[in-house]
Amino acid sequence: MSHALPNTAISLVAIQVGNTRTKIGLFKDGALERSVRFENEGFAQIVEEATRMWAELDSCELTAIVVASVNETTAAPLREMLADQLGEEIYRIGESMPVPIGTCLDPAATPGTDRLLNAAAAFDLLQSACILVDCGTCVTVDFVDGEGVFHGGAIAPGARMQLDAMHHGTAQLPAVALARPVGDPWGANTQEAMIRGVYHGIRGLVWRLVEQYAERFGGFPPVIATGGDTDLIFGDDELIDRIVPDLTLLGVFAAARAALLPDESASTPTKQRAELGALGTDWANFEDTDKPSDDCGDSGCSHKH
């Protein structure tokens, strides 16, 4: 199933370099036609697939190759190789292409590009406040207000990181592969106990954070989930309203559209609306010239295109 976003007269190869995996997506005229995922060690496969996708865009009018990364050790040589092999400019999210999302954070905060891209994509799709859950190497739970402003969230170790830490941090706990627990709620052996602790620990963590965000916001916004372990951990959880496996790639597309088609992209919210958006839904008649709320400090709100 393809996901299409508004204002879509652009085609691109979007590359998302994570801590352990790289995902590549092919967008044609704004629709995500397909995506593939590789372990970061499969460098040659990544380059080959990106080159193949780029060739499929020969007939498209406005095209780009865009790389987003939280792992420069992998991303830097990948950009260099693609630029050399294709003879094209390789756009980099965060430098040549900012993420089109407002922020309300501490001045020194440096949120991961993937978190901001998820926020931009989710707001692009929903046009409403939302909570974003990303289950990958780490688990993140972030909040975006009703004006499309990212307020930050929480970060915890991912499921595989937790299992690995228990194995390497103790003398007796074994190496265990992540799996969905079945049968009794308690584990009858060490491996089953470890899996249950990690699996239900992450679900409980996310539930509690969502409840806190909703209480602060004044209502339950949609909860959108993404990341490599999301289906396994949250596939049957009623907390999640929608699982979007390619959410970060959709954020890359939103950034490319905002940078290459600026006249087609919606403006980023004003600081005053960012502040009030964090307080709930009773702001429909708020005017930008009114006195801003004290909820979010002036130095922490920025609105980037």
Q: Say whether 114 is catalytic.
A: yes
Q: Catalytic: which of 58, 84, 114, 263? A: 114
Integer distance in angstroms from the first to the last C-alpha of the chain? 29
Residue 195 sits at φ, ψ, to 5 deg, of -60, -45
Give dist(CA 18, CA 134) in Å, integer: 12
* 61-79 exposure pattern, b = at least 16 Cβ within 10 A, e = fewer: eebbbbbbbbbeebbeebb
Those residues whose C-beta lies under 8 Å from the C-beta of residue 115, and which sit 6 or more positions away, are 132, 134, 140, 142, 150, 153
Residue 157 sits at φ, ψ, to 5 deg, of -60, 140
Give dist(CA 34, CA 25) in Å, integer: 6
Nearest to 210, CA basis, from 201, 223, 200, 199: 223
User: Which residues are tagged catalytic?
Assistant: 114
